[in-house]
Amino acid sequence: MYMFITRPKNKYQAEIDSGAKEFREDHQELIEEHERGEKILANIEKFKAEHEARSKKLAELWTGFEEKMSDPASKVESEDENIDSMIAEAAKEFDGATFEVDVDSVISNFYKRCESRSLAELEIILKITNQKTDEREEIECREEITIYPYDGQVELDEGFFSALKGKIPTWQIQAVCAEVKEYLEDPENERFWDMEF
């Protein structure tokens, strides 16, 4: 290191130089903190904008849902009255009795083979309770039905439930058929299995 000393240090200049050095270090540190703060604020602003956009979408979704449901909601009471009337009318055929139908078990072997359409056996055990007399009866419905394994669809109609005819009202046979069909075709119930070779 080379030093050229030609005159003594001015203690005040040294104080200024030291203060300036300290200022530069503090200034640089504050600038870096300020830049980090600006990045954080930019992220906050971005998050705030995204949050406001999500809030707006949520409000639009809710408004859309309310508008979409307003028509069906206005008809619920009327439909309930129609259903009650239909049940009461059907009960007249059965000496005023109404029935509870419990789909006790659904036994099916629907395998995904090479065919897009095939026949498969379906067995359903139903328990019927006459709510007037509290009499119970177990009925088994079993036959081959047409299935579409790769579409997860079945051909199922009221004919399959012919054993119920005269035991419960027609509307209830239709309802049982619709519920069972929906159950069989719902992928979450996994009624269609891959064939193992």
Check residue 112 and give its pLDDT: 73
Check residue 197 and give its pLDDT: 46
Q: Are 118 and 144 in contact (CB under 8 A)?
A: no
Express each pLDDT in 165-180 by its tens digit.
Answer: 999 999 999 999 999 9
Beta-ladder partners of 108: 122
Check residue 168 and give its pLDDT: 92
Check residue 179 and give its pLDDT: 92
Check residue 140 and give its pLDDT: 94
Q: What distances in angstroms separate CA 51 from CA 56, 62, 145, 179, one per listed residue?
A: 9, 16, 52, 41
The DSSP element (H or E) to which 47 belongs, if any, is helix 11-91
Check residue 177 and give its pLDDT: 94
Check residue 19 and give its pLDDT: 82
Q: Which stretches of the chain score pLDDT less than 70?
A: 1-6, 113-114, 195-197
Check residue 1 and give its pLDDT: 53
